[in-house]
Amino acid sequence: MKTYLLIAIAFCNSWTACGQKESGSSEEGKTKVGGNCEGCEAIYESPVPFEKLHWTDTLPDFNDPGPKLEISGIVYKKDGKTPAAGVVIYIYHTDQKGVYPVKGGEKGWDKRHGYIRGWAKTNDKGQYRFYTLVPASYPNSNNPKHIHPVIKESDKNEYWIDEFLFADDPLLPEDERNKTRFRGGNGILTTVNDNGLLKAKRNIILGENIPGYPAK
């Protein structure tokens, strides 16, 4: 997932996660989209079966010290207007020290993604919501703080979209702020402080600038 993926490996030997496939989840017969996505299969490591996922998830770090964050939005179909229900979103990010933390005994992609990760499935209105902390940048780096997202539609393989970034981050490059082509919609978050909870919205458009995605 862009430059940050390669640098993450250099700093903490960690980058996208994977695991258990959904029931009978051979991807045969499903539309292949998105190009290469090392570790996107981490989405299948959800501790809750996809069919039982809720549209809201709280990540394990939320009650730790740090800036509390709520990210919410609507996932739309490719037309950018029709809400998309039943889309699974997987996210993961660094802790307050800028590393992907582990507790020991990890067996899947959490050895590289750490335990600060979550899963949600859009409701009938296409809504999703995550509660977590604002992550820190990688140690001794100029990389902006970011959250990695992976998308899974029922009739397609898993694929990555642009990271969640933060508009108020002084490390966010100007070319990132000014770019006009986004994978899955603009991922730059503008946060608003609501009694100590930072709130931000990001709507996601399925298929936007995703290689191999069907036109209709």
At 130, give phi and psi (nearest 5°). Answer: -125, 140
Asked if pLDDT for residue 199 goes beyond 50, the answer is yes
Q: Are 89 and 120 in contact (CB under 8 A)?
A: yes
The DSSP bridge pattern shows strands 197-201 and 192-194 to be antiparallel
Integer CA distances (angstroms), 45 to 51, 70, 112, in order: 14, 23, 13
Distance CA 162, CA 34 (A): 12
**Among 41-50, 63-72, 190-199, 207-216, the least confident range:** 207-216
Q: Kindly report the CA angle at 76 between 48 and 157, in degrees rounded to 5?
A: 50
The letter for the amino acid at 61 is D
Q: What is the pLDDT of residues 92-105, one digit of tens each?
A: 999 999 999 999 99
Per DSSP (E only), the strands in 112-187 are: 117-121, 127-133, 147-152, 159-160, 165-166
The model's pTM is: 0.88
| 3-state SS, residue 111 | helix
How far is C-alpha 21 from the chain's CA centre?
A: 18
Q: Are 145 and 168 in contact (CB under 8 A)?
A: no
Give me the residue spans of the domains in the chain: 2-18+34-205
Query: Mean of the per-residue pLDDT values for the chain?
Result: 89
| 54 sits in which H/E element | none
Neighbouring residues of 46: CB distance < 8 A, sequence distance ≥ 6: 19, 20, 53, 88, 90, 119
**Residue 13: pLDDT band with limits 50, 70, 90:** very low
The reported pLDDT for the residue numbered 139 is 96
The reported pLDDT for the residue numbered 1 is 58
Architecture of domain 2-18+34-205: Sandwich (2.60)
Distance CA 93, CA 146 (A): 7
Asked if pLDDT for residue 22 goes beyond 50, the answer is no
